[in-house]
Chain A
Amino acid sequence: MVLLHVTDLNVSFDTDDGVVKAVRGISFDVDRGKTLGIVGESGSGKSVSTQTLAGLTRGARVSGSAQFDGLDLIKASPSQRRSVLGRKIGMIFQDPLTSLHPAYRVGAQIVETIRAHDRSISKRAARLRAIELLGMVGIPFPSERVDEFPHQFSGGMRQRVMIAMAMALDPTLLIADEPTTALDVTVQAQVLELMRKVQAEFGTAIILITHDLGVIADVADDVAVMYAGTIVERAPRDEIFYQPHHPYTEGLLDSMPGRVERGQPLRPVKGSPPSLIDLPPGCPFAPRCPYRFDRCDQEVPVLQTVFGDEQHQSACFLPTEIEERKALREQLVEKGGIR
């Protein structure tokens, strides 16, 4: 069942150098209880798109719609939006130190979140709830640590506190923007484990934004790959990893150490992403694409169904037939176009 339905979202910023088109006409759905992974490199628009949903992109020009629980988040008034954010949509960010107020005890910050949405809950009840939440996310001795300050927690523990706060009002959607990027691998494993547990227990839908395909492989059900402000490929997780259609997805996977044999060189995507002020006229990926042909420079490809699978869409002019697509890759590998 669709929980969040985003259509044709555009976000741009006016800067001194020109208009930065950060997000250009993206559409996606998030299903109840499922995890959508949004993957892309810096500047691909993955964070801006979800921040816009939460009304956090001030000064941006926004168009499109985002239907959530009978409300269009884009057109909603600030007060309408406030009634949803925090209560029905929880958010966690990359840096748990700057997302917590350094001068307030963590318990007080959770209590504030709870009471901001429901004044009828007494302070005492909210505090008990805060302790319960801290225990749920695996903070040892929650009834003592509830009165500590953020600096007394380690990075992984702070991220747990953020998850506790985001889950305080039992939201139906959790937006996690690079939640484990600042954490070490062993702590990352703990936090991902916790997010899985929370989802299993409360049926929360999750939008997970990350640059790390390893994290995506671990927790996402569906994946959207973003490049230069657009979604270039969208599919269930395994399709993305084992049958990518878009050359950018293919390039990202080929760039991962661990997917080539040791001693062999990696196969990086050549060049670097385009400027979002001055985009190429055709496909934004064309300048870096090993398959590039004339049409790519003239026409902008749109998402279309590929490999005969309704759930798998790619914005690329390459053949949508699986055997033909595979043959093309083999040809290119042979010619040395993909090292």
Chain B
Amino acid sequence: MSSDEVLLSASGVSKRFNVGSRGLLGGRLQLSAVDNVSLEIKKGETLGLVGESGCGKSSLARCLTRLYDVDEGTITFDGRDITNLGRRQMQPLRSEMQMIFQDPYGSLNPRRRVGSIIGDALAIHGNRGKGTRRQQVQELMEIVGLNPEHYNRYPADFSGGQRQRIGIARALALKPKLIVCDEPVSALDVSIQAQVINLLQDLQREFDLTYLFISHDLSVVQHISDRIAVMYLGRIVESGPVEEVFTASSHPYTRALLSAKPIADPRAAEQRDRIVLAGDLPSPISPPSGCRFHPRCPKAEQDCVTVVPTLEILRGAGPDAQRVECLHPLEADQDLSSFTPSIADTIIGADAAATGSREVAS
């Protein structure tokens, strides 16, 4: 399975988008989507990337696959620096990194037959395997559990789960090394979702694939990943092997996220401590000072407002280390719900004050 060989690594990657200006004489407004992110993906592993909507998961994935140009940092793929490669230089590498998208409806061209949707990549990058293109495509369809006789059908003739299988076949066509799965099962019903997850895991074993698996569903990520990275407002706040992060998370945000995870087990759900975070994700256009999580953090202290924490190793070493970006990380046995947000109200006002005003009202 996973070795210690690194397939993709990013160091200090940042991505900003221009989103208009601050009036006539003001400067440009910039949205900081990805901020100083470093991570490594090992050959044959699944790295789960979790976080709430708008935290920069997809932007980061697009930077790593060079669908976006990055503003800062370097990206290395298979031992080669790809940060500044041009379009043409990237072309041969494209076949080695493929993507599977969330929306099985929007990501397939409705006017094209399944055979050509899957076969296009082969046409563009040149046939690699044996047999005609049709034979290869039908073989792929069989691998992902589609009926090869449906070669000439249109996407509209397939259900959501089957369409996601088409997307997977298309990603597999060029025998990639890395597949970025961007919320691949979020649009599917539970029973279908489980089928697709099993398929992805079977394919990983069979073809020695490496996955970057993006999802907001923590149960799915926990099930499929070897290591996970938790993102908050453009930064990775905690990362490490999945068991360690799930059982001994030390970033308050990770802890809150895990405690909010719905679990299909009423007794377990009743027993655990719920940490209900106040407020919403702040705007990435003007992120909070210091630690970006401090306005919502129950454990924040004065230095969190001014000092920007960096991702530090907590335990272990190398890619398998558990890293956390927090000035005051939680001990494994510490209970986050025992902390009361002390500085939140005074500093951020609006959203974080939600808890305060609720108490007044009730």
Cα distance A142–B195 when bound, in Å? 46
Q: A residues within 8 A CB of B266? A: 217-218, 237-238, 241
A140 near B353 (CB under 8 angstroms)? yes
- Chain A: residues with Cβ within 8 Å of the partner, total of 52
Q: Which of B34-42, B116-124, B272-280, B317-325 contacts A (4 or more CB under 8 A)?
A: B272-280
Q: Which of A4-12, A63-71, A247-255 contacts B (4 or more CB under 8 A)?
A: A247-255
- Nearest-neighbour CB distance to chain B for A152, whole angstroms, equals 11
- Contact residues on B (Cβ < 8 Å of other chain), bracket: 35 or more
B260 near A258 (CB under 8 angstroms)? no
A184 near B264 (CB under 8 angstroms)? no
- Nearest-neighbour CB distance to chain A for B338, whole angstroms, equals 18
Q: A residues within 8 A CB of B362? A: 136, 197, 201
Q: Which of B11-19, B23-31, B84-92, B216-224 contacts A (4 or more CB under 8 A)?
A: B216-224
B354 near A140 (CB under 8 angstroms)? yes
Q: B residues within 8 A CB of A260? A: 223
Q: Contacts A41-B191, A218-B269 given; indicate if A213 touches B280 (C-beta within 8 A).
A: no
Closest B residue by C-beta to A266: B194
Q: A residues within 8 A CB of B256? A: 186
Q: Which residues in window 199-223 of B have CB below 8 A to A?
A: 201-202, 216-220, 222-223
- Verify if B197 is at the interface (C-beta below 8 Å from A): yes
Q: Contacts A187-B280, A266-B223 given; indicate if A211 touches B161 (C-beta within 8 A).
A: no
B350 near A189 (CB under 8 angstroms)? no
Cα distance A189–B263 when bound, in Å? 12
Q: Which residues in window 207-253 of B have CB below 8 A to A?
A: 216-220, 222-224, 242-243
A184 near B52 (CB under 8 angstroms)? yes
- Verify if B351 is at the interface (C-beta below 8 Å from A): yes
Q: Which of A52-60, A96-104, A166-174, A267-275 contacts B (4 or more CB under 8 A)?
A: A267-275
- Verify if B357 is at the interface (C-beta below 8 Å from A): yes
Q: Which of A186, A214, A265 contacts B201 (CB 8 A)?
A: A265
Q: Contacts A241-B266, A257-B219 given; indicate if A211 touches B52 (C-beta within 8 A).
A: no
Q: Which of B162, B194, B357, B358 contacts A257 (CB 8 A)?
A: B194
- Verify if A42 is at the interface (C-beta below 8 Å from B): yes
- Verify if A154 is at the interface (C-beta below 8 Å from B): yes
Q: Which residues in window 312-362 of B have CB below 8 A to A?
A: 350-351, 353-358, 360-362
Q: Which residues in window 249-305 of A have CB below 8 A to B?
A: 251-260, 262, 265-270, 272
Q: Contacts A140-B350, A141-B350, A255-B193 given; indicate if A157 touches B262 (C-beta within 8 A).
A: no
B190 near A255 (CB under 8 angstroms)? yes
A41 near B197 (CB under 8 angstroms)? no
- Verify if A106 is at the interface (C-beta below 8 Å from B): no
> Ordered nearest first, which 5 A-B pairs have the shortest CB separation?
A214-B262, A268-B194, A257-B223, A135-B361, A255-B194
Q: Knowing that A138-B357, A217-B262, A266-B197 are A-B contacts, what are 15 other residue pairs whose CB atoms are under 8 Å apart, sorted by A's residue number?
A: A41-B189, A139-B357, A141-B350, A184-B216, A185-B257, A213-B262, A241-B266, A252-B191, A254-B194, A256-B219, A262-B222, A262-B223, A268-B192, A268-B194, A272-B162
